[in-house]
Every structure is written in structure tokens, then in C-alpha cells.
Structure 1
Amino acid sequence: MKIPFSWLKTYVSLTATPAQIADDLVRLGHEVEAVELPRAAVKGVRVGLITSKMPHPDADKLSLLKVEIGEAEALDIVCGASNMGEGDKVPVATIGTSLPGGLVIKKGKIRGEVSCGMCCSEVELGLADESAGLLILPADAPVGAEVGEYLALEEAVFDLSITPNRGDCMNARGIARDLAADAGLPFTDVTPAAVAIDAAVATPSVTVTAAQDCPVYMARAINGISLADSPEWMQAALIMAGMRPVNGVVDVLNYVMLTMGQPMHAFDADKLSGDIAIRAAASGEAFAALDGRELKLHAGDLVVCDDSSVIALAGIMGSEPSGVSDVTTNIVLESAFFRPARVSETRRTYAMVSEASMRFERGVDPLMVATAMGQATAMIIDLFGGSAGEIAVCGDATAINADRTVLCSLSRLESRLGVEIPQATDEVLARMGFTLSRQGDALEVTVPSFRHDVSIPEDLSEEYARVIGFDAIPTLLPPLATTAPAKTDRSIHDAVAGGFLQVVTYAFISAGEQRLFVADDGLDIALANPISDAMSVMRRSVWPGLLNTAKRNLNRQQPGVALAEQGRTYVRSDRGHDEENVLAWLMTGEVESDQWYGHARAADFFDLKGAVDGWLALRGLSGRFIADDSILGLQAGQSAKIMVGRVEAGRIGRVDADLADQFDIDAPVFVAEINLDLLPTGKQAKFVPLAEFPGVERDLVFLFDRGAASDAILNAIRSAGGKLLTEARIFDLYDGKGVPEGKVSLGIRFTLQDGKRTLTQADSDAASSAIIAAMDKRFGAALR
């Protein structure tokens, strides 16, 4: 939200600099994103009088100007515009001036002619997006004056980020009230405008059937207006505040909203049919919004309608058919208080953000509903003529948030803040609208109607902290009971050390993404009020989030992606819900790029399997990867469950190609996931002295059935080899000539070693015999 400095000064006589005001705002809890200085941006641009205009001798579209700027000598300026003449007054950027667009004016030659400055258009001064030529100033503009001061450009514009609880400060009036109270300066509040009532103008007929969501609604007819553009001062003010001028009536309503905080809407009275009603929408009811969207409303949405259609989504946006246009002569003004929660829910449902919704969902000042109506009416009649009728009033604004009182003890507040609360701070809060009464340690505070966010003692603590200043509150650690140090979880750190990039994705995913890797068993946890359909359920797998992240990286020309995430998954249970702590990996694309010594290589199943193996080894654990073609979402033949001891701790495999296509990934994608809560305690690493005696290495070749699993073969060898076996691996695979159909020849190499003696032939023969017997018994494998 942007607030020009001059707007604040209409409510309070501020003498501090914009920088000091920005510091005060931050101390009062209002985040200042930036302070723009429009007048400083055109410093050095002065009012110039063109005393001579001649054609450029070497360029048909250029002119040679003599321009007086109040100095001893006139400036020679080469200009490309054509809309000026002798006697005109124009803005002149002198040498050394830095214009808003970044252009620095220097003395130079243009087609051989010296130019000592530049005559400016609105675009070059940052006042408009386009222009037809130079900005021609009024004839009474003083020659030599600073253009920024003459045009009354804003001294400063504060770009503020207002917290969701401070709806009362979404306008210049609310910000000025805080500043005035803090500085002890008088606050000039809005005075109700006097509006002459024309009995010939009918009062709109209004009914409210959704009083809980719309406790106050006012409507007034204004007939016979001559709609035109709003005056230049108003358009300039709106532009400074970050809003685009639309038409006279809309500009007035926006101006009142930005200065006083009350959003309003105007309907073309001639386009309305019958009476106005504020009610809940029916399911599927049509609404044609001003932004061009055609919506089908949900049952319960709060709407404003006439006898034939919905004319506004209450507190958010009006309809296109009922909107004010250039030919409008009769209007109906709307001013209301809508329940913040209802506006917020509806706005999120349709992803429809407006200036009005941002204020209504934070909570507007109920007492401004009527005052803003009067102010807008007076401005419209003053600028565009017309006659106003009586206001149709439904509800009582004074009853909203009335007589809210907070009782607490001063000692409790002081204990929470860590400082004594002086009596003088009560005076500041009183100027902010609170009524305070101290009786010993007891404090009674009556909250103003516009501060709906203050209802408990903790809220008062925050108010006192704002007044005292957060910097004045001492930084002290609270007393903590001594506890045993928590064990550091290095799960994700070890995964990152293995070459993966840590990511953190949302715990909310779409129901469709959930079904990719988890069957529909009715155990999903659906959000009651999701931000969007893409974030409607709590995740039961981390893989969809990793796939979305991989997609974004690949779309940004990353040749390969290796990601890891540690997070929680959520499932409904008899206890309400269960959470599991999981670690997930993803690999896709290149793992090695083109080099002079070799070509690029894409990730495969064994790259990820090796990473998981290495991660388990750091914990003193070993995993067995058992093929499992039933894992949902993974490709049959390239998927396995991960067994750690007797526990199925995780899954690994290649994402089904059709599923990868849904994420626009055409390269093979490999994923793994381990439930950290199921892992057993690993063996502690122990130092083993290097063996002083040599080992014995032997090779055996067997004929196995083609379906035998390599993990099972090696596990059987380790079990049969006894204590002397230190290593076993498959070093050769052959299935060519001489190997029977359905069989495969595997070469097994194993190593025997004893740290206390040299092994004998008998030791080697005994181990070989035990392995041969185990292969025959377990797999029916014959020794070749």
C-alpha cells in the first residue's frame, strides 16, 4: 500500500523528515518497504521559457531552441518534439540532472549543434507512461522554479506492508492517527460532509437476509450526474498511491478508500432491475465480474443482487453489466461492513484479489461506513453535479465491536514485556482511541470499534510494546530447566554430503498427485479450507513435491537433478492422524556431463541404489533391495522394497514413464524413500587393526536360474563362508554359447583372511565346500 506524505499531513501536522517518519512507522509495527521521493527524482528540472525556435540545419525533425531558466544566459537546446513554440513554458532538465528513468543530462552535440539541457515530457519526468510531446506548463508558471515544487509533486510516498491484523491502517487516516498519537500531535479527524437531500430522488429499496455476514449496509441514489474524468490533482494523487485512474466516479471512490479506509462501490442505476438484496448465493448461480471472469458461485457466497442477477460479490468486486460507464447519469452508491472471514474465504475460493477485499478481510472501521458515504456523495456532486437522495440503512454500525473491554493486571503485562509500563504510555494509547483505567494493579481498557484485533491481555502487551518501542525492551533469555542435550539428526546432512541438493517442499499437495503413489484407501487428510486445489490434502508421499521441483529445474536448463528432502507424511488413523518422518531422494538427467575424456551419462537405478546404500552404511546399517513390482507409481522390473534387518524401511525404483510425463519430464526418473522412524539402531563403528597375515582369494563359477536375485546369492555366500570370509562379490556374468536356456553363469569371488594366522589350503577348501553346498541347496546352482 502506498501513502503519499501530503495525505498524512492533512490529518496531522508532521514536521519530521520522511526518513524519520519511516523509522517511526517501523517502530509502531508498520513495515516500510520503501520510501519514494518523487520531488527529489526531478531535482534540477526547472521551468523554462522558449524565447526562440529555429529548424535544425541538418535534421528535419529537430529544432534549435533558446530557453530562459532565470540564469544570466539562455540555454541552447536541441529538441525533437514538435508541439511547442516560442512563448511556451516547458520543463527543462539542466546539465547534471538525473531523471527518473536513469538518464543523466550532459552537455553535448546533436548533429553538430550544441545542446545544454533537455526539454522534458511527462514520460521523462516519470509522470505518465506515454505522451505526445513536451509537457506544456501554464503561462503563469514562474521561470526558473523547480518543476517538482511547482507541480506539487509528492515530497515522499511511503510503500507500506500492513500486517493482516491492522485493517484500520490500510489508509492514510489510520496511519496518521498512529503517528499523531505517538508524537503527541493533534489529530484532525474526518468531519461528516454536508449533503443536500433532494426529495425527488427515490431511496433505494434494500433487504438484508444474511445479517451475520453483512451487519451494516447503506445505499444511496444520485441522479443526473455528468460523468467526466476526475480532476488532474486527483488522478495525480491516485497514480502516486499506485492506482490507475478509471473514470470520475470510480476515482472518487478509490480516493475516499485510500484516505479514509472504507471501500465503496457504485452501480449504474439504470442497469439495475428492481430492489437490492444482500443474501447468500445459490449453488451454480452465475456472476459476470468486472475483471471479465465468468463465475459459477458456490452456495453460501455473500452476494449483492437485484431482481434479475448478481450485481456484486460482496466486499470483493462488482459485476460488469451493472458497472459505471462513460454514459452513466444515475448511480447507486454502496457502503457496507462485511464480515472479514466471509470475504477472506470467498476471495481465496475464486483467487480474486481486489483493493476492497484486502481491506474488508482485515476489518474496516464500522463508523466510517456512513461518513465515507457522505464524503463520496459530496465529492461526486461537487465534481459532476447531480442530486442525492436519502440513504437506505440496514443494520447498526455502532453495535459492531461496541463496548469491548479487556481486563488484566499491570504486573502481568510488565512481566511479559520485561519493563515497567509508565503512566505516560496510557496517554498515547488514549490518543489512539483506547479508554484506560488503572486501579492499583488492575487495568481496564475499552477498545475502539476499529481495533477488532485487540481482545485479550496479550494484545495489550503488543500495544504497549509498540508505544514503548521494541528496541527499549531488554533482551533476556527466559529461565529454562536443564535438559539432556538432544541427539542431532544428521539424516539430511548425510544425504547432501552424498551429492544431493536439499529441498523443502509443501506438505500440501493435490488429491490427483496423492493418487500417483498412494492408493485411494480413504485415509487422506483433506484440508477444510485449502489455499488452492493444488494444495488440498496433506501429503502421504514426498515424491510429488520432489517431481515438481525437478520439473522446475529441468525447465530452467539444468542437465541433471539430484534432490533430497527430509520431512513428514500424514495419514488418518484411529488416533486422528499419524505422522512419519521420512527421507526421500530423486535423481534424473545427467550424472556426468560431456568431458574430453568421456561422454555424458544419464542417471540409472544403480546410481540411486548406491547413494542409499552409502547413506545406510554411515549409520552402521545395511539394506537388502528385494524386487517388488507392486509399488504404485514405480515401473515394474525397476522397483524394490528396502529391507533393513527384518523391517521394510523404504522403497526405491524408477517412476513410471507415464507419470513422469505428467510432470513434463521425458528422462528416466529414479526415487527412493526411507521411513526414519522404522530404522533399527546401527552398529557402532569400531577400529579393527590392519591384518598382519595375507588373505586368500578364490573364484567359483555357478549355473543359476535366470530369475535368481543377486542380493540373495551374496547373502547366502556370506552366511556359508563363516568367520573367515571378509568379502564376496559377483565378478562375471555370462549367458552365451554353452549356457543352457533359462540359465546364467555367474562368477563368484570371495576373500578369506584371519588376523592371527596364515590360512592353509584346508581353510580355503572348507569355505569353498560350504559355499558350493549352500548354492546347491538354496538355488540348485551347479558348479561349472
Structure 2
Amino acid sequence: MKISLNWLREWVDLPDHAHDIAHRLTMAGIECEAVPLLAEPLHGVVVGRIVEAVQHPDADRLRVCRVDAGDGGSHQIVCGASNARAGLLAPLALPGAVLPGGMKIGRARLRGVESGGMLCSAKELSLSEQSDGLFELDASLEPGQPIESALQLDDWILELEFTPNRGDALSVLGLARELAAIYGIGYTRPAIEPVESGSEASISVEIEDIQACPCYAGRIIEEIDPNAQTPQWMRERLRRTGVRSLGLLVDVTNYVLFELGQPMHAFDADRLAAPVSVRRGRSGEKLSLLNGQTIEPKSSELLIADAKAPLALAGVMGGGDSEVSESTTRVFLESACFTPAAVAGTGRRHKLHTDAAYRYERGVDPALQRLALERASRLIIEVAGGRAGAVVVAGSEAPGLRRVSLRQSRLEMISGVEIDAATVESSLGRLGIEARQSEPGLWNAQIPSWRYDLEIEADLIEEVARLYGYDRIEARPYAAELMPIASTDTRRSESGVKHALAARGYHEAVSYSFVDPAVQSLLAPMGAEIELDNPIAETMSVMRTTLWSGLLPALQYNLQRQARRVRLFEIGARYELRDGEIVETQSLSGLIWGEALPEQWGSPGRLVDFFDAKGDIDAVLGELEWERDEHAALHPGQTARVLRGGHPLGWMGSLHPRLVAHFDLPSAPILFELDWAGISPRALPNRPKMSEYPSSRRDLALSVRTDLPSARLVAEARAAGAAALEAVKVFDVYVGPGLPEGCKSVALSLIFQDYSRTLTEHDVDESVALIVSHLGRILGASVRG
């Protein structure tokens, strides 16, 4: 927010320079920077009145103007502004003047016509970032008056950033209260006298949801002069806050918003059908907004409506069907209090960012509506005449009192300093908080209506501490009681998995949860997209359903920097829609690409394959099962479903050749993604038994179906129940001549060992026979001759 310091000084007599004021505000928790209104002084620029403006004889877009500069003469100026006309007052730079940026004004001939100076726009004076024509000055100014004094340009602009809890400070009134508390001085706001009712005009108002709108007030003003112009002083103050003039009625509501902090809206009263009501949206309704956008309000969204249709999106933006225009002579002024919960999110859902929504989301004083309505009525009548009807109010104008207790012992413990009772009471009193001691060291504080953010004891402690001065609180060692977190052997820790992967050459990646929808659709074509309402960029407009959406661009980034061996992993959340609800799942994902081993002389180079990644996962996690399957983003035949105890955990495989080409990769990376909830449990560590007796080994070459996974063969061999079977391993797979069609040969090594005796040959033969019989019966396996 921007505020003129000159405007603020009318409310509170600040003794310091602008930079010091900004520093005091920043130290009190409101980030502030003071910027001079004019970066460079203006020399030789005065108020000029255009006496005559005629068409240039040789240029359609130029006018030849005679201008009164208050020096008794007439200056001929050639001007290209579309609003140059007789009677207009505008800044006039005479020959010899120097404008911001170093532009020197002299005499010149423009298309053969002599021009002695320049009529200026606000942009040319560095008073605005853009302008549509000459800077139109108030008709009450005198020609020849220096522009600095005419517009009071000896001013500073306070550029402020507020935390979300400080809605009370988003106005001149709020800042004056804050600065008065910081400096320990008083502040004076302009007297706002109620406007006497001079008209019978009225319209009934009602509230259907009193929790969302505690108070709704309004009044009709009729017989307004539609030709009345916004005064120069008001236009100038609005311009210095960054708001352009939009006509008297809208300018007044904007002025009251920045002056008092109360958003208001002006409806054309002739377009309304009583009653005006505050209600929720209804099915099938549409609302055309002031910006030309047409929306379909949700049933949860608060609306202002009349008997026929919605009029405005409450607390956010008015509707186009009831807006005031240049011909409006009867206006209905609205001044309402909407709770933060009723407005929060509504603007963002419809991509609307307004000053009103910004304030309502942070909290508007529920005792301010009548005062703001009187202020706006007075300003309109003073400038444009008219007769005001009676104020109509629905809801309560008297907000309920809130009380919070404060203990001095708690204050000293949290702030770290001893603050005496008198200072505590004085600090709170300067903020409008009435604090009375119910007993020594205990205050009962009554919270003012404008401070939505003060709800608990810690809030009051913060207020006392910041007025005391954060810079006065000395740094000192702080002893804290920490509760150690007990680790458990039955669950893996994230840090343990991260360290294990790092030990195997992986680097941790941290990518955005917002990803490119084009990449997402390639990696998860069947998943529903979760679109963001306000994306950072078009390439970050959906929530990721797989962490591969971030890892593959990271691989591209590394390859563009000549990386030859890339191993990345990430533990993070992915998101998917289930039955209309967004479900967040924590996952472990990874990617390997390039050389299998670091560059060396001891082994020939080769690219990574599926079994390199599988070996890493087995080493880090173990206890997993692998089953051939298919995934849209992975290579058919080089993809496995990862399971644990028969329950699916995720996927591993080589990137699909189509996607390898799309990402322009030299070769396919191996990817994996596993649900963290499924891999984090683990069996308790168990020390294996050691036998002092020798083991015996038997090798079996079995003929089985080509599509039978070797893991299934090993599992069934163990399940046969052979005595003293210690281990089963696959040591060879053969496919080729000498085998029946559709079969392959898998060689198993069977290790037998007993813990109480040396096994005999007969013992081992019996166990082997049992295993062969079981495999033949269950899997159709036969021993090769």
C-alpha cells in the first residue's frame, strides 16, 4: 500500500523525517520504505491555462494553443494531447525549464509553427507511470503558480508491506493510530458530522447470513449533479496511493477506503429493485462484474442482491448492471462489514484482486460502517449537491466486546525483559486497549473493535514487546527444555533412507509441486489434472501426480551442463483426485542415467540398466517383490510393479522410447517411485544363527515356462518345506536350442545346513526330491536331463 506522508501528517504531528518514520514503522512490525514523490525537483514548471486551442495547419494530431502563464503575456504552444482544449489548466514547462530525467525545454518549430514551451502530462513530470493526456489541474488554481506549491509536491510516499494480521493499519486512520502509539503522541482525525436527512428516498436492506455479515448499512442520495468533477486535492491524494480517478462517486468511495479503511460501493439507485439483501449464491445464477467478467457464484459465496438478481460479489467487486455512470443522479451507498472467513478465497477463486477484498480478508472494523457512510455522503453533497435519505441498517452496529487476560510473569518469560506495570498499561492504552489490573501482575484487557488479530495472551505480549522496542531487547543465551524424539526400529526414517541413497551415489533433488501440464500428461495420461487457480507460470499450472515430473526436467538441466552420470532421488508429496477430493501421498522417487560406474580403468564402461536401480533399492529397502507389468510412461518389457507382501507400492522401469525422444535424451533413464507409507515399516533387526557344521549345495537346472518370473520359482522352492534349506539363488538362465518351445532353463543353487549336526547325503537328496516334486506340481517345472 502507498500513502502520502503529507496526508498522514494532517492526522498525526510526526516530528521525524520520512526515513526515520519508515524505520520506526519497520521496527514495530510494519515494513515500510519512504520514497520522495519527485525524484528530481521541477524547475520552471507552472500552472498554465489554455485560452485557445486550434487545429495545426499541417498536422491532424497537433493543436496550436495560446496559454496564459500568469505573466501577463500569451505563450504559443504546439501540443499533441487529445484533451488539449480551451479553459483547461495543465502544467506548463516554459523555455529553460528542466523536467525529470534531464529534459531541457526550449523553443522549437513543429511542422512550421513556433512553440515556446511544453504542456505536460503526469508521466512527463514523473508523477505517474502512465498517462492518457495532459495532466488536468483544478480550475481553482491560478495561472503562473509554481506547480510544486499548487500540487504540494514536497511530499514523500510511504510504501508499506503488511503482515496478514494487520488489517487495522490499512488506512490513514490505522497508520495514524499506529504511529501515535509508536511515538507516544496523540492523533486527530477530521471531524465527521452526520449528514441531515433531506429526502424521503430509501430502500430496505436485509441480511440472510448474520454470521458472515454482522452489519450492512446504506443510504440513497438523490439530485446529484452528474457533471460534478472530483476535486483536485482528492484526485491527487488518490493518485499518490496508486489509484486513478474514475468519476466523483467512485472516487469518493475509494477515498474513504484509503482514509478510514472501510470499503464501500456505489450503486445506481434507479437500477435497483427493493429489497437489497446479503445472501449466498444460488444455483444457476450469473453475475457480470465491473471488469466485464461474467461469473457463476458458488452456493458458498456471499452476494449482494436485489429482488431480481445478484448485484455484487460481496466484499470483492460490484456488478456491471448496477454500476454508476456519468448520468447517475440517484446513488445507493453501501457500507458493510463482512467477516474475513466470508470473503477469504472468493477473489482468488475468480482471479480478482481488489483493494476491498484485501481489507475484508484481513478484517474491517465492525464499528466503522456508519462513520464511513456519513463521511462519503458529506463529500458527495459538498461537491455535487444532492439530498440524502435516512441511513438504513441491517444487523448490529455495536460489535461484541472481547477480553483477554495478560500475566506479567508470562510477559517477562516470553519477551525476555522485565517491563514494569505502568509501561505495560501505557503501551496497551496507546493502542486503544483498555487494560485494568484485577490483581497484581494480572490484567484484564478489553480489545478494541478494529483489532481482529488480538485473541490470546501471546498477542498482547507481542504488542507490548514491539512498542517497548525489539531493538531494546538484548540477545542472551536461552535455555530450552527439549523432548528427545524416540526412534523406533520398526520404521525407516527419511534421513536414514536419504543417507543410504547418498552413500550409493545419489543426490537429493527438491522440485516444485507445481509442474508443466504438458509433462504431466505424458507421464500420467490417465490421471485427472489438478489445476491451480493462480499459477506462477503456465509451465507450473498443475499439481504433480508423480515426482518424475520434476526429476526428468532436472535430468535435462544436468545434461545441458555436460553431466555424464546422474543419480537423483526425492522424497515428497504427489497429489491425485479421488472421488472429487485431493489426496496427498508421500513418495520416494528416483532416477539414474548414464554410466553405471564412475569413470575408471578397472572395468569397461556401460550404461545403467534396470538391475542397477533394482540393486540400489534392494540394498536400501530390501523385503520387496518385483512383478512384470506395464506403465504408460515406461518401456514395455522393462517395467516392474514393486510389491510388498502382495500389496503394490509403486513402479520401476526404463523410460518409454517415445518419451526419451520427447525429452531429447541420449539414452533412457531408469525411474522408480514408491509410496512412503508402504516402504517405511520394516521388520525388527534379527541376528542370524551361525552353524558350526558344514553346508551342502545342490544345483538344479529346471525347465519352466518362459513367462514364469524367477522370483516365483525361488519363492515356491522355499515354500516346499524342505528340511534345513538355508538359501535359494538363481545363478543361470538359458533360452535357446534344446528346450521345448515356450520354455526357458533356470538354474537354482540350493544351500542346506543344519544347526545341530552334519547333514548326510541321504538328508539332502530327500530335501531336493521334495522341492522338485513341489515345483513340478505347482509350476509345471521339470529337471533338465
TM-score of the aligned structures, taking structure 2 as reference length: 0.69
The answer to whether residue 474 in structure 2 is matched with residue 503 in structure 1 is no
1:528-543 to 2 correspondence within 5 Å?
Answer: none
The answer to whether residue 282 in structure 2 is matched with residue 288 in structure 1 is no
SS of 1:678's partner is coil
The Cα shift of 1:160 comes to 2.1
- The corresponding residue for 1:202 is 201
- The corresponding residue for 2:680 is 677
Whole-angstrom distance in 1 between the partners of 2:40 and 2:748: 83
The answer as to whether partners of 2:94 and 2:105 remain within 8 angstroms in 1 is no
The answer as to whether partners of 1:706 and 1:742 remain within 8 angstroms in 2 is yes
Give the aligned residue type for 1:295: I
The Cα shift of 1:242 comes to 2.4
SS of 1:411's partner is helix
2:497 to 491, 494, 518: 491
- The corresponding residue for 1:420 is 418
The answer as to whether partners of 1:27 and 1:466 remain within 8 angstroms in 2 is yes
Report the CA distance shift for 1:358/1:585 in structure 2 as closer, same or farther (over 3 A). same
Q: Deviations over 1:703-729 (max 9, x none)?
A: 764324466789999999x99999987
Give the aligned residue type for 2:126: G
The Cα shift of 1:203 comes to 2.0
The Cα shift of 1:447 comes to 1.4
Q: Deviations over 1:465-514 (max 9, x none)?
A: 2211223334442431574897881423554674555225559999xx99
Whole-angstrom distance in 1 between the partners of 2:196 and 2:155: 36
Q: Deviations over 1:576-602 (max 9, x none)?
A: x99986422367xx869xxxxxxxxxx
Gaps of 5+ in 1: 51-60, 63-68, 70-78, 112-116, 521-526, 535-541, 593-602, 685-698, 753-765
The answer to whether residue 481 in structure 2 is matched with residue 480 in structure 1 is yes
SS of 2:320's partner is coil
SS of 2:495's partner is coil
Report the CA distance shift for 1:442/1:252 in structure 2 as closer, same or farther (over 3 A). same
Whole-angstrom distance in 2 between the partners of 1:223 and 1:397: 25
Gaps of 5+ in 2: 49-60, 63-68, 70-76, 85-89, 110-116, 488-492, 536-542, 596-605, 688-698, 752-764
Whole-angstrom distance in 1 between the partners of 2:509 and 2:686: 27
SS of 2:363's partner is coil
The Cα shift of 1:564 comes to 3.3
Whole-angstrom distance in 2 between the partners of 1:714 and 1:198: 97
The Cα shift of 1:362 comes to 1.8
1:83-232 to 2 correspondence within 5 Å?
Answer: 89-90=92-93, 99=100, 121-130=121-130, 140-141=143-144, 151-153=151-153, 155-199=155-199, 201-227=200-226, 228-232=228-232
The answer to whether residue 339 in structure 2 is matched with residue 332 in structure 1 is no
Report the CA distance shift for 1:205/1:471 in structure 2 as closer, same or farther (over 3 A). same
SS of 1:326's partner is coil
- The corresponding residue for 1:584 is 589
- The corresponding residue for 1:763 is none
SS of 1:315's partner is coil
Whole-angstrom distance in 2 between the partners of 1:43 and 1:496: 61
Report the CA distance shift for 1:386/1:136 in structure 2 as closer, same or farther (over 3 A). closer
Report the CA distance shift for 1:248/1:632 in structure 2 as closer, same or farther (over 3 A). same
TM-score of the aligned structures, taking structure 1 as reference length: 0.69
- The corresponding residue for 1:437 is 436
Report the CA distance shift for 1:306/1:454 in structure 2 as closer, same or farther (over 3 A). same
Report the CA distance shift for 1:351/1:88 in structure 2 as closer, same or farther (over 3 A). closer
Give the aligned residue type for 1:583: L
- The corresponding residue for 2:355 is 355
The Cα shift of 1:321 comes to 0.2
The answer as to whether partners of 1:653 and 1:672 remain within 8 angstroms in 2 is yes
The answer as to whether partners of 2:639 and 2:653 remain within 8 angstroms in 1 is yes
The Cα shift of 1:133 comes to 7.6
The Cα shift of 1:139 comes to 7.1
The Cα shift of 1:454 comes to 1.8
1:571-650 to 2 correspondence within 5 Å?
Answer: 582-585=587-590, 607=609, 610-611=612-613, 613-614=615-616, 616-617=618-619, 619=620, 622=622, 626-629=626-629, 637-642=637-642, 650=649
Give the aligned residue type for 2:367: L
Give the aligned residue type for 1:259: E
SS of 1:321's partner is helix
- The corresponding residue for 1:565 is 570
- Identity percentage of aligned residues: 29
Name which of structure 1's ranges 133-142 and 300-309 shifts more when overlaid on structure 2: 133-142
Whole-angstrom distance in 2 between the partners of 1:259 and 1:581: 48
Whole-angstrom distance in 1 between the partners of 2:159 and 2:189: 23
Q: Deviations over 1:653-688 (max 9, x none)?
A: 359989999xx989989442153412447899xxxx
- The corresponding residue for 1:244 is 244
Whole-angstrom distance in 2 between the partners of 1:445 and 1:370: 26
SS of 1:446's partner is strand
Report the CA distance shift for 1:344/1:304 in structure 2 as closer, same or farther (over 3 A). same
The answer as to whether partners of 1:500 and 1:563 remain within 8 angstroms in 2 is yes
Aligned residue pairs total: 662
Report the CA distance shift for 1:132/1:322 in structure 2 as closer, same or farther (over 3 A). closer
The answer as to whether partners of 2:35 and 2:158 remain within 8 angstroms in 1 is yes
The answer as to whether partners of 2:348 and 2:534 remain within 8 angstroms in 1 is no
- The corresponding residue for 2:277 is 277
Whole-angstrom distance in 2 between the partners of 1:134 and 1:278: 42
The Cα shift of 1:565 comes to 2.6
The Cα shift of 1:269 comes to 0.9
The answer as to whether partners of 1:608 and 1:672 remain within 8 angstroms in 2 is no
SS of 1:193's partner is coil
The Cα shift of 1:249 comes to 0.9
The answer as to whether partners of 1:409 and 1:442 remain within 8 angstroms in 2 is yes
